[in-house]
Amino acid sequence: MKKSFAILAMIIVLPVLAQAINIFGGVQGGLRTVNDSQIKSVYGQGICLFPYLAVNPWKGVIAGAGYEFGYSKSGHIGVYEEDTTLKVSGVEVFAGYQYPLGIITPYALLGLGSFSYKQTVASPAAQKVDTSKMTFFFAAGAKACPFKGLPGLFFNLEVKYVPLSVKPYDESVDLGGVRLTLGAGYSFSF
Protein backbone atom coordinates (compact mmCIF):
# COMPACT_ATOMS: atom_id res chain seq x y z
CA MET A 1 0.00 0.00 0.00
CA LYS A 2 2.81 2.42 0.91
CA LYS A 3 4.63 1.57 -2.30
CA SER A 4 1.51 2.25 -4.37
CA PHE A 5 0.98 5.59 -2.64
CA ALA A 6 4.62 6.62 -3.26
CA ILE A 7 4.38 5.68 -6.95
CA LEU A 8 1.08 7.58 -7.34
CA ALA A 9 2.56 10.65 -5.63
CA MET A 10 5.60 10.59 -7.96
CA ILE A 11 3.35 10.22 -11.02
CA ILE A 12 1.44 13.34 -9.98
CA VAL A 13 4.23 15.53 -8.58
CA LEU A 14 7.19 14.88 -10.90
CA PRO A 15 5.54 15.98 -14.17
CA VAL A 16 4.32 19.18 -12.53
CA LEU A 17 7.82 20.01 -11.28
CA ALA A 18 9.52 18.96 -14.50
CA GLN A 19 7.29 21.22 -16.61
CA ALA A 20 8.05 24.33 -14.61
CA ILE A 21 11.83 24.20 -14.22
CA ASN A 22 13.62 27.04 -15.95
CA ILE A 23 17.34 27.67 -15.31
CA PHE A 24 18.93 31.00 -16.11
CA GLY A 25 22.18 32.75 -15.46
CA GLY A 26 24.09 35.80 -16.46
CA VAL A 27 26.42 38.61 -15.51
CA GLN A 28 25.51 42.08 -14.29
CA GLY A 29 27.83 45.04 -13.93
CA GLY A 30 27.56 48.66 -12.94
CA LEU A 31 27.86 51.32 -10.28
CA ARG A 32 28.38 50.46 -6.60
CA THR A 33 27.88 53.30 -4.12
CA VAL A 34 29.17 53.58 -0.55
CA ASN A 35 26.95 55.15 2.14
CA ASP A 36 29.61 56.31 4.63
CA SER A 37 30.80 59.84 3.80
CA GLN A 38 34.34 59.33 5.18
CA ILE A 39 34.83 56.08 3.25
CA LYS A 40 33.39 57.75 0.15
CA SER A 41 35.79 60.70 0.44
CA VAL A 42 38.84 58.38 0.71
CA TYR A 43 37.90 55.62 -1.75
CA GLY A 44 34.98 56.98 -3.77
CA GLN A 45 32.25 55.07 -5.57
CA GLY A 46 33.19 52.05 -7.63
CA ILE A 47 32.04 49.32 -9.93
CA CYS A 48 30.80 45.83 -9.25
CA LEU A 49 30.32 42.66 -11.27
CA PHE A 50 27.82 39.97 -10.35
CA PRO A 51 27.75 36.58 -12.11
CA TYR A 52 24.81 34.45 -10.97
CA LEU A 53 22.84 31.28 -11.58
CA ALA A 54 19.15 30.91 -10.73
CA VAL A 55 16.20 28.60 -11.13
CA ASN A 56 12.50 29.23 -11.70
CA PRO A 57 10.99 26.01 -10.28
CA TRP A 58 7.34 27.03 -10.18
CA LYS A 59 5.34 29.83 -11.80
CA GLY A 60 6.98 33.16 -10.85
CA VAL A 61 9.14 31.94 -7.97
CA ILE A 62 12.89 32.32 -8.46
CA ALA A 63 15.89 31.33 -6.33
CA GLY A 64 19.59 31.57 -6.98
CA ALA A 65 23.11 32.46 -5.95
CA GLY A 66 25.87 34.74 -7.17
CA TYR A 67 29.15 36.39 -6.33
CA GLU A 68 29.68 40.16 -6.23
CA PHE A 69 33.20 41.47 -6.81
CA GLY A 70 34.99 44.37 -8.44
CA TYR A 71 34.99 47.06 -5.76
CA SER A 72 38.70 47.57 -5.16
CA LYS A 73 39.76 51.13 -4.54
CA SER A 74 42.90 52.94 -3.42
CA GLY A 75 43.30 56.29 -1.74
CA HIS A 76 45.12 58.31 0.92
CA ILE A 77 44.05 58.38 4.54
CA GLY A 78 44.91 60.13 7.79
CA VAL A 79 46.99 63.14 8.70
CA TYR A 80 50.03 61.79 6.83
CA GLU A 81 48.04 60.87 3.70
CA GLU A 82 49.15 57.24 3.86
CA ASP A 83 48.38 54.88 0.99
CA THR A 84 45.36 52.66 1.60
CA THR A 85 43.24 50.11 -0.26
CA LEU A 86 39.73 48.76 0.30
CA LYS A 87 38.20 45.66 -1.31
CA VAL A 88 34.65 44.46 -0.80
CA SER A 89 33.16 41.27 -2.28
CA GLY A 90 30.44 38.83 -1.33
CA VAL A 91 28.58 35.59 -1.91
CA GLU A 92 24.82 36.05 -2.17
CA VAL A 93 21.78 33.77 -2.14
CA PHE A 94 18.37 35.13 -3.06
CA ALA A 95 14.72 34.29 -3.61
CA GLY A 96 12.04 36.32 -5.26
CA TYR A 97 9.15 36.60 -7.63
CA GLN A 98 8.95 37.54 -11.30
CA TYR A 99 5.87 38.41 -13.33
CA PRO A 100 6.10 38.17 -17.15
CA LEU A 101 4.42 41.01 -19.07
CA GLY A 102 5.14 40.20 -22.71
CA ILE A 103 8.82 40.77 -23.49
CA ILE A 104 9.38 42.52 -20.12
CA THR A 105 9.53 40.58 -16.84
CA PRO A 106 9.72 42.71 -13.67
CA TYR A 107 11.04 41.00 -10.55
CA ALA A 108 11.76 41.58 -6.86
CA LEU A 109 14.34 39.76 -4.75
CA LEU A 110 15.21 39.35 -1.09
CA GLY A 111 18.53 37.80 -0.20
CA LEU A 112 21.28 37.08 2.25
CA GLY A 113 24.91 37.92 1.58
CA SER A 114 28.22 37.19 3.25
CA PHE A 115 30.45 40.14 2.38
CA SER A 116 34.18 40.25 3.03
CA TYR A 117 36.00 43.53 3.31
CA LYS A 118 39.76 44.05 3.35
CA GLN A 119 41.45 47.33 4.18
CA THR A 120 45.17 47.97 4.27
CA VAL A 121 46.98 51.14 5.29
CA ALA A 122 50.68 51.66 4.55
CA SER A 123 51.58 52.53 8.12
CA PRO A 124 53.37 50.51 10.81
CA ALA A 125 50.76 51.68 13.33
CA ALA A 126 47.72 50.55 11.31
CA GLN A 127 46.15 47.14 11.64
CA LYS A 128 45.09 45.28 8.52
CA VAL A 129 41.33 44.61 8.37
CA ASP A 130 40.28 41.31 6.79
CA THR A 131 36.89 40.07 7.96
CA SER A 132 33.34 39.42 6.79
CA LYS A 133 29.76 40.09 7.77
CA MET A 134 26.37 38.67 6.80
CA THR A 135 23.47 40.94 5.93
CA PHE A 136 20.12 40.90 4.14
CA PHE A 137 19.56 42.82 0.91
CA PHE A 138 16.73 43.53 -1.49
CA ALA A 139 16.60 44.21 -5.19
CA ALA A 140 14.14 45.03 -7.94
CA GLY A 141 14.56 45.01 -11.67
CA ALA A 142 13.28 43.91 -15.03
CA LYS A 143 14.39 41.42 -17.68
CA ALA A 144 13.70 41.92 -21.37
CA CYS A 145 13.75 39.25 -24.08
CA PRO A 146 13.71 41.40 -27.24
CA PHE A 147 14.74 38.80 -29.84
CA LYS A 148 12.13 36.30 -31.04
CA GLY A 149 14.83 34.26 -32.78
CA LEU A 150 16.75 33.90 -29.51
CA PRO A 151 14.05 33.33 -26.87
CA GLY A 152 16.54 32.39 -24.13
CA LEU A 153 18.66 35.55 -24.42
CA PHE A 154 17.69 38.36 -22.06
CA PHE A 155 18.97 41.71 -20.83
CA ASN A 156 18.23 43.17 -17.43
CA LEU A 157 18.40 46.32 -15.34
CA GLU A 158 18.52 46.00 -11.55
CA VAL A 159 18.68 48.22 -8.48
CA LYS A 160 19.92 46.53 -5.30
CA TYR A 161 20.33 47.95 -1.80
CA VAL A 162 22.76 46.27 0.60
CA PRO A 163 22.99 47.63 4.17
CA LEU A 164 26.47 46.77 5.49
CA SER A 165 27.40 48.49 8.74
CA VAL A 166 30.74 47.18 10.05
CA LYS A 167 33.04 48.02 12.93
CA PRO A 168 36.64 47.32 11.85
CA TYR A 169 38.12 49.55 14.58
CA ASP A 170 36.45 51.63 17.32
CA GLU A 171 33.80 53.27 15.15
CA SER A 172 31.14 51.81 12.87
CA VAL A 173 31.25 52.59 9.16
CA ASP A 174 28.60 51.92 6.54
CA LEU A 175 30.09 50.06 3.57
CA GLY A 176 26.60 49.39 2.23
CA GLY A 177 24.96 51.20 -0.61
CA VAL A 178 23.11 50.91 -3.88
CA ARG A 179 24.12 48.82 -6.88
CA LEU A 180 22.75 49.97 -10.22
CA THR A 181 23.58 47.29 -12.77
CA LEU A 182 22.92 46.27 -16.36
CA GLY A 183 23.31 42.68 -17.43
CA ALA A 184 22.79 39.94 -19.95
CA GLY A 185 22.02 36.28 -19.57
CA TYR A 186 20.50 33.16 -21.02
CA SER A 187 17.71 30.86 -19.86
CA PHE A 188 16.64 27.38 -20.82
CA SER A 189 13.92 24.99 -19.72
CA PHE A 190 13.80 21.28 -19.20
- Per-residue pLDDT tens over the stretch 138-180: 999 999 998 888 888 999 999 999 999 988 777 888 999 999 9
Which pLDDT tens digit goes with each residue over 95-143? 999 999 989 999 999 999 999 999 888 877 777 888 899 999 999 999 9
Q: Is residue 60 part of a domain?
A: yes
Q: Is residue 150 part of a domain?
A: yes
| Of 49, 41, 51, 62, residue with least CA distance to 181 | 49
% of the chain exceeding 70 in pLDDT:
89
Question: What average pLDDT does range 14-37 have in this prediction?
Answer: 82
Q: Is residue 122 part of a domain?
A: no
| Cα 47 to Cα 112: distance, rounded to the nearest angstrom | 20
pLDDT at 75 over 70: yes
pLDDT at 71 over 70: yes
pLDDT of residue 9: 55
CATH of the domain at 106: 2.40.160.20
18 versus 78: the higher-pLDDT residue is: 78
What is the span of the domain harbouring residue 106? 23-69+91-110+136-189
pLDDT at 10 over 70: no
Host H or E run for residue 183:
strand 177-189
Q: Is residue 85 part of a domain?
A: no
9 versus 47: the higher-pLDDT residue is: 47
pLDDT of residue 186: 96
| Cα 105 to Cα 141: distance, rounded to the nearest angstrom | 8
Q: Is residue 41 part of a domain?
A: yes
Q: Is residue 36 part of a domain?
A: yes
